[in-house]
Structure 1
Amino acid sequence: MTPRAAAASPAILSILLIPGLVIVAAFFLIPIARVAFEVGNGPEGWATYLLILTNGRYLESLIQTLAMSAGVTVMALILCAIVGLFLVRNRFAGRSILIGTLTLPLSFPGTVVGFMVIMLAGRQGVIGGLTDAAFGSKLVFAYDIAGLFIGYLYFSIPRVILAVMASAEKLDVQLEEAARSLGASRFRVICDVILPGLMPGLISSGAICFATAMGAFGTAFTLATDIDVLPMVIYTEFTRNANIPVAAALSIVLGLITWACLAAVRSFTGEGKNIAVRGGA
C-alpha cells in the first residue's frame, strides 16, 4: 500500500461509518434520549424512578415479570438441552420434520402465539373441552400468568434449541468414551463432559430467552385479561392513563435489565459470539 493510499484509508473508513452512525443515532440514541427526557420532565422529575420501587403495582409487576422470565428461561433450557442433544445424537424417520416443527414458532408473531394459547387453554379451548367432558367443569388458564408462561415458553424453544444443537454437534464423543472407560457413571459424564460442552450455547440462548420474555408484548396483549407484566403496564400507563413519565421510566428500567443481561453474558462468554439478534414476540 502506498503512503497516499494509507493516508486515505482513515478518511474512507470515516465516510463508510456515516450510514451506520446515522442509523444508530436515529433509531437508538435519539429515541432513548427522548424517553429519558420525558422522565425528567414529569411532575416528579427523576424521582419518578423511585415510584417503581415504592408503588405496589409497579413493583409487583416488575417482580412478576422477572420471575416469569426466569422461569421460562430455566424450563426452556432444561427441555431444549434434553431434546437438542437427542436430536443431534440420533437419526430417525421424521427427524427433519420434527426439527422444523420445533423451530416453526420463529415465524409466528406474538399475537398468533397468544391466539394459539387461547385455542389450547381458553374458554373454548381443547383442554377446557376435555376437562368438561371428563370432570364436568372447564379448566381455563389461558388468560392468566400460566397461559402467558406457556406462550412465552412456546416461542422461546426455537431460540434455545438451535443454539443447543449447534453446541451439541461440537461435542467430542471420544471424551465421553474416555470418561466412561475411567469408570465415570453416566451422571458424572453428563455433569463433567456434556454440560460444560453445551454451556456456551445454554448461556447465550438463555440470555436471549430471558431478554425476549422480559420485553414481549404481543402475546401478553392478546391474553391480557388478568395479566400485569411490565410491557402491559407500560402500555396501560401510556395509552389509557396518559402517564407518560411513568411509562418512560418503566421503559428505561426494562431496557436496562435486558441490556444488562445480554452484556453480562457477553462478558462471561468472552466475545459473545453466540449472542444473536433477538426477535420480538
Structure 2
Amino acid sequence: MKPMTRDATLPVPWRTALLAPGLAVFLAFWLLPMVSLVRLSGGTNWLVTYRALLSDPRYLQSLLATVALSLGVTAVALVLSLIAGLMLTRHRFPGRRLLVSMLTFPLAFPGVVVGFMVIMLAGRQGLIGSITQALVGHRTVFAYSMTGLFIGYLYFSVPRVILTIMAAAEKLDPALEEAARSLGASVWQITRDVVLPALTPGLIASGAVCFATAMGAFGTAFTLATDIDVLPMTIYTEFTLNANFVTAAGLSVILGIVTWVVLAIARSLGGQATGAAA
C-alpha cells in the first residue's frame, strides 16, 4: 500500500483568497489613483498638454534642477557612505554602535524637521550666520537656497545608503583581499579591483533609492522654499495655489516617469554587476 502524499500546492480558491487582500490594496491605493492621474494629466489633448509642459521654460527648468539636485545628492551620499561604511564595518572601537546609531538617526525625522534643522544651521539666525557675523561682520545665509536643500537631502540620504553599504561590506570574503595582498597588490589596488566590484550592486541599488527619494521629497523643500524651484514644489503650487489640476497631474506623471526610468536603468546595471561579480 502506497503512503499517502500531501500536495504542497494550495488549491486555487485558497490562493485566490490569500491574494485578494493584496490585490485589493494594489487596486485601491495604486492602480486606480494612477489611472485617474494619467487620465487627468491628458486634459483635452494628450499631445498638446505634454508638449506644452515640456516646452515651458519654467517647468523644464524645474525638472532639470530637480534631476541635477538628485544626482548631486546621490553622488555625494555614495562617496561619504562608502568611506564611512567601510570604516565602520572593518574597525571595532569604543562607541562604534553609538556612532552607527547617530548616523542612522535621521531616518526617524520627517522632511519638515530636517528643513527646520537646516534653518537652525544656515538660516538668518542660524549657527553659521552667527559665526560668520562674529568673524567677518556679515551673516552667511544659504538655508533657503538650493545649497540648503542639498544639505537637507544629503542629511536624510546618507543613512539610507550607509546601511546598505555596511550590509554589503559585511558579506565581503576576506580571503579575496588576502589573496590580492599576497600577490603584492596595494591598498588602492585591492579597493579598486576587489572591494568596489563586490560592492557595486549595493552601491547601484542604494544610489537608485537615494535618487528616487530626492526626486520626490517634499517636506524639506516646502520648509525651505524661498528661492527653491524643484518639481515637487512646482506641482504643489499648481495644485493648491493655481488650482491647475491638469498641469499638476502632468508634472506628476513626468516626475514618475523620470524616476521610473532611472530605477529601471539601476536595476539593469545592478543585475549586470551581480553577474560580473559572480
TM > 0.5 fold call: yes
**Amino acid aligned to 2:71:** A
How far residue 269 of structure 1 moved from its aligned partner, in angstroms, is 2.8
Aligned to 1:23: 25
How far residue 198 of structure 1 moved from its aligned partner, in angstroms, is 1.3
State the alpha-carbon separation in 1 of the partners of residues 264 and 233 from structure 2.
Answer: 25
**Amino acid aligned to 2:207:** G
Mean Cα displacement is larger for which, 220-229 or 251-260?
Answer: 251-260
Aligned to 1:267: 268
How far residue 26 of structure 1 moved from its aligned partner, in angstroms, is 0.4
Aligned to 2:38: 36
Contact 1:204 1:272 in 2 (8 A): no
How far residue 186 of structure 1 moved from its aligned partner, in angstroms, is 1.9
State the alpha-carbon separation in 2 of the partners of residues 50 and 197 from structure 1.
Answer: 43
Contact 2:200 2:273 in 1 (8 A): no
Aligned to 2:198: 197
State the alpha-carbon separation in 2 of the partners of residues 113 and 59 from structure 1.
Answer: 27
How far residue 258 of structure 1 moved from its aligned partner, in angstroms, is 1.7
Q: Which runs of 5+ in 2 are unaligned?
A: none
Aligned to 1:249: 250
The alpha-carbon distance between structure 1 residues 138 and 193, as it changes in their structure 2 partners (threshold 3 A), is same
- Post-superposition Cα deviations, 1:211-255, rounded to whole Å, max 9, x if no partner, equal 000000000000000100000000001111111111101101111
How far residue 272 of structure 1 moved from its aligned partner, in angstroms, is 11
The alpha-carbon distance between structure 1 residues 8 and 172, as it changes in their structure 2 partners (threshold 3 A), is closer
State the alpha-carbon separation in 1 of the partners of residues 272 and 189 from structure 2.
Answer: 29
**Amino acid aligned to 1:195:** L
State the alpha-carbon separation in 1 of the partners of residues 52 and 166 from structure 2.
Answer: 43
The alpha-carbon distance between structure 1 residues 2 and 121, as it changes in their structure 2 partners (threshold 3 A), is farther
Query: TM-score, normalised on structure 1?
Result: 0.91
State the alpha-carbon separation in 1 of the partners of residues 243 and 149 from structure 2.
Answer: 26
Contact 1:128 1:139 in 2 (8 A): yes
Q: Which runs of 5+ in 1 are unaligned?
A: 274-281
Q: Does 1:9 align with 2:26?
A: no
Aligned to 1:49: 50
How far residue 178 of structure 1 moved from its aligned partner, in angstroms, is 1.4
Contact 1:266 1:272 in 2 (8 A): no
The alpha-carbon distance between structure 1 residues 11 and 228, as it changes in their structure 2 partners (threshold 3 A), is same
Aligned to 2:178: 177
The alpha-carbon distance between structure 1 residues 103 and 7, as it changes in their structure 2 partners (threshold 3 A), is closer
Mean Cα displacement is larger for which, 173-182 or 147-156?
Answer: 173-182
The alpha-carbon distance between structure 1 residues 103 and 244, as it changes in their structure 2 partners (threshold 3 A), is same
The alpha-carbon distance between structure 1 residues 238 and 94, as it changes in their structure 2 partners (threshold 3 A), is same
State the alpha-carbon separation in 2 of the partners of residues 7 and 106 from structure 1.
Answer: 40
Contact 1:265 1:272 in 2 (8 A): no
**Amino acid aligned to 1:76:** A
Contact 1:36 1:252 in 2 (8 A): yes
Contact 1:211 1:258 in 2 (8 A): yes
**Amino acid aligned to 1:219:** T
Aligned to 1:276: none
Aligned to 1:91: 92
How far residue 181 of structure 1 moved from its aligned partner, in angstroms, is 1.7
State the alpha-carbon separation in 2 of the partners of residues 87 and 11 from structure 1.
Answer: 50
- Post-superposition Cα deviations, 1:29-52, rounded to whole Å, max 9, x if no partner, equal 110111111122x25544211123
3-state SS of 1:85 partner: helix
How far residue 172 of structure 1 moved from its aligned partner, in angstroms, is 1.6
Contact 1:88 1:165 in 2 (8 A): yes
State the alpha-carbon separation in 2 of the partners of residues 155 and 186 from structure 1.
Answer: 31
State the alpha-carbon separation in 2 of the partners of residues 230 and 199 from structure 1.
Answer: 30
Query: TM-score, normalised on structure 2?
Result: 0.92
1:225-240 alignment runs, 5 A limit = 225-240=226-241
Contact 1:73 1:210 in 2 (8 A): yes
- The share of aligned pairs that are identical, in percent, is 59
